[in-house]
């Protein structure tokens, strides 16, 4: 996450807020029952409602800690989508803190390339292709571009099939 932030020109206190936000972005999952977190199949509507509260819970946990203040909005908004379809507040585009947009992309890549109770890990190239496809909808296109740059994918765009990120 730090490398993606640096690629985007993030530095100083903003980079430190990104680092802390990255470390604690899922702390709110402490408020989600294990039976939901580890469910081997799709979540039902009620379970999904509980899961979608974890960013708010995380922000509430961190809010009393003064040194975490710059990271609280990052933690709260790390599941907001570029097109406004995310949660908890339905923010869109630049309304979403940049650190949260970075974490969303990096965390999505990690989730896609890790085994989950409900599916096997994707290979690196398929995960990168899915990030490209999601750019402009789920993900900030500029953040996806920076993430791909770190992988040097932009030098060989044919190696990752899918739409080109503008």
All structural domains of the chain with their residue ranges? 2-159
**CATH number for the segment(s) 2-159:** 1.10.3210.10
Confidence of residue 166 (pLDDT cuts 50, 70, 90): very low
Length of the chain, please?
Answer: 166
Q: What is the pLDDT of residue 165?
A: 43
Number of continuous H segments (helices) and E segments (strands) in the chain: 9, 0
pTM for this entry: 0.89
Angle between helices 12-24 and 98-112 (to 10 degrees): 40
d(CA 93, CA 106): 17
Reported as a pLDDT band with limits 50, 70 and 90, residue 118 is: confident
């Amino acid at each position: 996450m730090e490398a993606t932030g640096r690629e985007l020109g993030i530095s100083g206190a903003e980079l430190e807020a990104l680092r802390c936000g990255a470390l604690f972005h899922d702390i709110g999952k402490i408020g989600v029952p294990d039976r939901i977190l580890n469910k081997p199949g799709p979540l039902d509507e009620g379970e999904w409602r509980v899961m979608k509260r974890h960013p708010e819970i995380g922000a509430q946990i961190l809010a009393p800690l003064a040194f975490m203040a710059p990271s609280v909005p990052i933690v709260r908004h790390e599941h907001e989508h570029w097109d406004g379809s995310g949660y908890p507040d339905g923010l869109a585009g630049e309304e979403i803190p940049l650190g949260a947009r970075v974490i969303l992309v990096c965390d999505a890549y990690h989730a896609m390339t890790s085994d989950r109770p409900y599916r096997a890990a994707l290979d690196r190239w398929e995960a990168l292709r899915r990030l490209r496809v999601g750019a402009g909808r789920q993900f900030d296109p500029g953040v996806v571009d920076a993430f791909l740059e770190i992988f040097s994918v932009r030098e060989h765009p044919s190696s990752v099939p899918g739409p080109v990120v503008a």
